[in-house]
Chain A
Amino acid sequence: METVLKLDHVTKRMGGRTIIDDVSFEVYAGEVFGFLGPNGAGKTTTIKMILGLLSIDEGKITICGNDNVRQFEEAMKNVGGIVENPETYSYLTGMQNLRQYKRMRQGVTEERLKEVVQLVGLENRINEKVKRYSLGMRQRLGLAQVIMHRPKLLVMDEPTNGLDPAGIRHLRDIFRHLAHEEGVAVMVSSHLLSEMELMCDRVGILANGRLLDVKLVKELIEQAEGNKRIIRFTVNNSETAVNVLEEKGIAPLKVEGNTFDISVESDEELAKVSASLVTAGIWLLGITHQGQNLEDVFIQIAGGGGQIE
């Protein structure tokens, strides 16, 4: 696997605090790499260092073999990225905005511009002033800006911010297409694991400026499978059902109207629970699998309690 991005013991201090502490990882060509962490973990800071917006206090970052400080221009030729919000010149049209970047990049043709406009679905509005764009349209324009020069590395900070579900899916498809079909290394940061799960091949988990773990999404799922599953029951009388289960020493996680969730470790245990409910004369109206609880795994690894350190 070809390494496109490499962080080598990177440390960043700001305002007397160590924000990023000795972080190392690699992102390969052809994969979507999720950069996961709770608020304030240091995702944006790391991405800004990769893109040359922030200086690096210790360690180094190489992009396609070029040091992004000492060989800035060479390194940046292969990069496209959006940090936080995609900012555009609101007094220019969409196309004029794209041309600004075309002039700074080498080898972007007019045809290529048309192609990316089409790819992000902005053909009909591209000659309008950006100040009349919605947030989602600006996101799409931002994406067109950063992929026009066919970068080998695409770095996106919280790219799904402000997008509707259809927009998120569209973006996901674009990222997967770029990585899997065109061999781009795509790095995406997020604090929502559910999103990462659908989009990424591999995730790195960051908390308090330290990289806790880098795992294939598959591995994460297995880890979750190995743990407990959440099953949601719908019954005719949840009060009686809860009493029956509590007598057997099983505490429901959540009761809501006629539904309640319990956590089970195996199929056998699930069969036992259902049998005892039926025996107690309760009608089982529905049993649904609530999915692998990756959030649990995440919180377990990141140790988050919602407290920002």
Chain B
Amino acid sequence: MSKFFNLIVNELVKILAKSSTKIMLAIIVLLAFFWNLAAFINDREMRKIDEEVIDYDYIFEVYKYSEEYESMYQFLKEIGVTVTSDWRYDAMQDITDELSGTLRDYPSQREAALEWYEKLKKPIGDNDPKGYLARRIEYINTLPGMDSDTKKAYAAILKFAMENDIPPTRHDSRFSNLLSLIDKKAELSLLESMPADIRDTKRITTLKNEIAISEYAIEKNITTYLTEVSDEFSPFYFQGFWFAFSESVNQITVISLLILIIAGSIVASEYSVGTIKFLIINPVKRWKILAAKYLSVLITGISILIIYYILNFLMATAFFGLGDIGAPLLKASDGVVTAGSPFLYVAFMYLLNSVSLLAMATFAFMISSLVRNAALAIGLGVFLMMTGQGVTFLLGSIFGMDWARYILFANTDINAILSQNTPFLGHTLGFALTVIAVYMIVFLLTAYDAFVRTDIK
């Protein structure tokens, strides 16, 4: 056993000493850096749009607004609103939109509308969000063209915002959550009213879970959180630290290439320089040498993924700071919400995205020991990784998906399988993992046979 451990140490020493490995590590560091830099720049742009400074000169000179809007901007300027993220900006926009809508659609109610407009404008002018919300609740009930359920729901969230000091602006995540609840609940009741046979049950479940999460976040006063939108299975958070950190998972494709290089050359390189002879004449059975090499590839692969995970954490911290680090991951099933650690979630995403990497590395390893040519093994591995999925769909559409689901590449996208987003019917995680395992066993047995049986000439 200790001898086998020594064999693995030998392989790792060789992998680490190779200059190609050092280049690889440098690539990984650069990759993490540039990904986070890009995320940071994107984030800043988005925040800039979000917190746009209002350019009044430009508005008054260039745009020819209708009377109502012209006076709205005049008013905003007077009360000293300078950025769009100010709650008064949203509030004025809302009431002005409503006023101009009423004037257009219900000209008979002009007097009442103008009266309400002034009433609502008052607390905005006084910078009093609570007062504004209180008046708005009253106002909602007078609105024509809104059904009573919606009115009730709307009034309820406004009341909630008022009681909990939530400013009525979309820039506040709790308030925008409250607003989205109305839309989602409306959609839900519409869907549920459909006849059972055409009812979209999947969407209903998703909506219910989303509503549960929003309500949970509002109730617990959580402003920053991640969710896993169940039909996409991806983080639902578009900014800052968590976006950069969780989406770094997409670069695993690049990392796969690096691991393919190691897997494809670990056996072949011994042949190309002739050291295989020295390896074989030791008192160690050939299969042990092969197994040590395979395990070393796995260890290296896992280490690289861990390094990449840590690097991304550090880089995201450097760019965005640790402000959002305590954000929970909210998950819901059957309306019950649980809060988990997004660190674990990101790690899990790394793991899922590594499944095809594992299969391809094993494939390249097999080719490497079969043809003893590193370039060919790496090339084939990369080629299959790039085209495998496409070719599988093509074959599937010609010969039928039922048959194509036994192809390796139909099963490597675990993400899609978990969210039931594959064209292969009846695809379950268990099925996919079984198919992958069978392929891997075939690959490994082939590699074993080639390595153990052939003459070393």
Contacts and interface: CB of A to CB of B under 8 A. Distances in A.
Contacts of B17: 89, 91-92, 96
Contact of A104 (B3, B19, B277): B3
Interface stretch (B245-253, B279-287, B382-390): B279-287
Contacts of B285: 72-73
A101 B456 contact: no
A87 interface: yes
A105 B277 contact: no
Contacts of A88: 275, 278
B14 interface: yes
B310 interface: no
B3 to A, nearest CB: 7
B281 A87 contact: no
B456 A73 contact: no
B181 to A, nearest CB: 61
Interface in B249-277: 273-275, 277
Contact of B13 (A79, A86, A100): A100
13 contacts: A48-B456, A48-B457, A54-B456, A73-B284, A84-B274, A87-B273, A88-B275, A91-B14, A91-B17, A91-B19, A100-B14, A104-B282, A106-B283
Contacts of B48: none
Contacts of A72: 283, 285
Given A48-B457, A86-B278, A91-B18, 16 more contacts: A53-B277, A55-B453, A73-B284, A76-B283, A76-B284, A79-B281, A83-B277, A85-B274, A87-B278, A90-B273, A103-B3, A103-B7, A104-B3, A104-B6, A104-B283, A145-B278
Contacts of A14: 455
Interface of B: 3, 6-7, 9-10, 13-14, 17-19, 273-275, 277-278, 280-285, 453, 455-457
Contacts of A59: none
A85 to B, nearest CB: 7
B280 A53 contact: yes
A74 interface: yes
B273 A104 contact: no
B282 to A, nearest CB: 4
Given A90-B273, A103-B7, A104-B6, A51 B13 contact: no
Contacts of B18: 91
Given A87-B275, A100-B10, A103-B10, A52 B281 contact: yes
The 6 closest A-B pairs by CB, nearest first: A103-B6, A87-B274, A76-B283, A104-B282, A53-B456, A77-B283
A53 B455 contact: yes
Give the bracket for the number of chain A residues in contact with chain B.
35 or more
A85 B273 CA distance: 10
Interface string A34-55: 0000000000000010011111
A92 B13 contact: yes
A88 B3 CA distance: 21
Given A85-B274, A88-B275, A52 B13 contact: no
Contacts of B278: 86-88, 101, 145
B6 A81 contact: no
A45 to B, nearest CB: 9
B14 A76 contact: no
Contacts of B7: 103-104
Contacts of A103: 3, 6-7, 9-10
Given A92-B17, A96-B13, A51 B281 contact: yes
B446 to A, nearest CB: 19
Contacts of A145: 278
A110 to B, nearest CB: 15
Contacts of B6: 103-104
B44 to A, nearest CB: 43
Nearest to A48: B456
Contacts of B457: 48, 54
A75 to B, nearest CB: 8
A73 B7 CA distance: 14
Contacts of B14: 89, 91-92, 100
A94 B457 CA distance: 26
Contacts of A77: 283
Nearest to A74: B283
Contact of B455 (A55, A79, A104): A55
A83 B455 CA distance: 14
A86 B281 CA distance: 13
A147 to B, nearest CB: 13
A74 B282 CA distance: 10
Contacts of B13: 92, 96, 99-100
A72 B452 CA distance: 12
